[in-house]
Amino acid sequence: MGISKAEGLVLQIQRMSTEDGPGLRTTAFLKGCPLSCAWCHNPESIAARPELQWIGSRCIAAPASAATAKAAADPCGACIAACPSSALGRDEKGSIVIDREHCTLGEKSGVDADGTNCFEIARCAEACPGGAMELLGTRYSAEALARELLKDRAYFARSERGGITLSGGEASAQPSFALEVLRLCREAGVHTALDTCGVASWESLASLYAEVDLVLYDLKEADPERHRRFTGLDNGLVFRNLEKTAELMRRSPMPGALWIRTPIIPGATDREDNLYELGRLLADIDPPRLERWELCAFNNLCADKYRRLGREWAYAGSPLMEATAMEALAAAARRGLAKATRRGLAKAARRGSQGELAVSWTGSTLMEEERTVQC
């Protein structure tokens, strides 16, 4: 493995994943995303800087009730004492509160009178005896991350096209780092996948594609204004980059394959006209080696992530999708594919041949057990 000087900020490494591409995979979630999706299931991945979260169930001083709060004569307070910027305190219930405006984690200016700071180290997390203060974001060299991902090679070999996936956040937001990680893994003979929202410079995406066996490309919303309302940006760049991806795949063997993924969110993307129009647009673009289109049913498992970050989540009370609704949306997507007339996708969708694009849905639905996997 060659030596690399590229460094990046990594949120999490998830092993034995079946949700981020084919086979068994190890996924590195990189920190930082250009979008701010209202339904984001990984809110801790959006900011391109280290962050803190407090996990109350791990805190040895966190009260279980008001009675125990009054009885707590000697609360721990190690994290509060360790903070160089006095950004930690307690509320009336005894829970830790993070003043994020004054927290200097990741800032070179965060130096106290003794010269200590929180630029590279979260001192409150380091001091916490129970692991309740948790650092979100760890700096890796490309070589160190690749080495960590490749520890699971034995598992990759036991599944069809198993390998590593770079996700986020948005992996292409750290292009030099992501490119080196992908290159090192491919040099080791491991299947590589890139999960992208498509909001990136074409130069960044094109450079990464040279080392990518599979692209997982998000298409969320066909209407530009609705896309802007729910994600912060319109979808113009998303579709332009998808068109360029298709053009590149027509003249190059890399990236090797493409999957489209659409999050199905109650009150946002869960409209038959949205799936129909996405299908029509996708068929017009007609990317080569497009293997599947996956509709990912909304889940509410991330509600606690927002609480830990001290944020409100607009979808905290939203119900899961119903299976019949997911089937109807998948049918609308297939109709959109069949309606388009430009190239071969519509023909394949109509004839139901072996080469037909697979449109499927995954995730848990209302009053049902999990059907496949959650996105």
The answer on 206 and 128 residing in a single domain is: no
Domains contained in the chain, number: 2
Inside any domain, residue 208:
yes
Of 136, 171, 197, which residue constitutes the final position of a domain? 136
Q: Is the pLDDT of residue 155 over 70?
A: yes
Are 69 and 183 members of one domain?
no
- Calculate ∠ Cα 14-193-303, nearest 5°: 40
Per-residue confidence (pLDDT) for residue 105, from 0 to 100? 87
Question: Same domain for 27 and 149?
Answer: yes
Task: Assign 60 a pLDDT band (cuts: 50, 70, 90).
Answer: confident
Cβ–Cβ under 8 Å, residues 194 and 215: yes
Tell me which of 69 and 116 has the higher pLDDT.
116
Report the range of poorest mean pLDDT among 97-101, 117-121, 234-238, 261-265. Answer: 117-121
Which pLDDT score is estimated for 66?
Answer: 44
Same domain, 87 and 233: no
Question: 195 lies in a domain?
Answer: yes
25 three-state secondary structure: strand
State which of 54-58, 101-105, 146-150 shows the largest mean pLDDT: 146-150
Q: Are residues 35 and 108 in the same domain?
A: no
Q: Are residues 311 and 299 part of one domain?
A: yes
pLDDT in tens, 224-275: 999 999 999 999 999 999 999 999 999 999 999 999 999 999 999 999 999 9
> Quick one: pLDDT band at residue 340, thresholds 50, 70, 90?
low
Domain endpoint, select from 92, 109, 136: 136
Cα separation, 141 vs 35, in Å, equals 25
Q: Which CATH number covers residue 36?
A: 3.20.20.70
Q: Which of 38, 19, 74, 33 is CA-nearest to residue 314? A: 38
Domain end among 136, 171, 200: 136
Q: Would 372 be classed as within a structural domain? A: no
Using an 8 Å Cβ cutoff, are 185 and 145 in contact? no
- Same-domain pairing of 58 and 31: no
pLDDT at 199: 98
What average pLDDT score do residues 170-194 get?
98
Query: What is the phi/psi pair of residue 238, to 5°?
Result: -60, -50
Residues 44 and 58 in one domain: no
pLDDT given at position 210: 98
Q: Are residues 336 and 201 in the same domain?
A: yes
Give the CA distances from residue 261 to residues 94, 175, 258, 270, 295, in Å, rounded to whole numbers and listed in that order.
42, 22, 10, 13, 6
Asked whether residue 200 falls in the same domain as residue 108, the answer is no
Report whether 220 contacts 227 (CB < 8 A). yes
For residue 348, pLDDT over 50 is answered with no
Helix (H) or strand (E) holding 96: strand 96-98
- Distances in Å between the Cα of 290 and the Cα atoms of 76, 177, 190, 246 are 55, 27, 21, 9
Beta pairing, strands 88-90 & 96-98: antiparallel
Question: Do residues 102 and 195 share a domain?
Answer: no
Same domain, residue pair 98 and 219: no
Q: In what order do the strands lie in the sheet with 25-30?
A: 138-141, 7-17, 25-30, 163-167, 191-196, 214-218, 257-264, 290-297, 358-362
List pLDDT tens digits, range 211-233. Answer: 999 999 999 999 999 999 999 99
In a domain, 270, yes or no: yes
Q: Distance between CA 209 and CA 193 in Å, rounded?
A: 9
Q: Which of 47-51, 61-65, 197-201, 347-351 shows the highest mean pLDDT?
A: 197-201
pLDDT in tens, 2-59: 445 689 999 999 999 999 999 999 999 999 999 999 999 999 999 999 999 999 889 9
Contact between residue 102 and residue 112 where contact means Cβ atoms under 8 Å apart: no
pLDDT of residue 21: 94
Residue span of the structural domain in which 344 resides:
7-48+139-362
Residue 332 lies in a domain: yes
pLDDT of the residue at 230: 98
Question: What is the predicted pLDDT for the residue at 164?
Answer: 98
- The Cα 310–Cα 308 span in angstroms is 5
Residue 323 lies in a domain: yes
Mean pLDDT of the chain: 88
Select the more confidently predicted residue: 168 or 340.
168
The verdict on residue 371 lying in a domain is no
In a domain, 370, yes or no: no
The DSSP H or E segment spanning 180 is: helix 175-187
**Residue for token pair 């986020």:** 168
Helix (H, G, I), strand (E, B) or coil at 267: coil
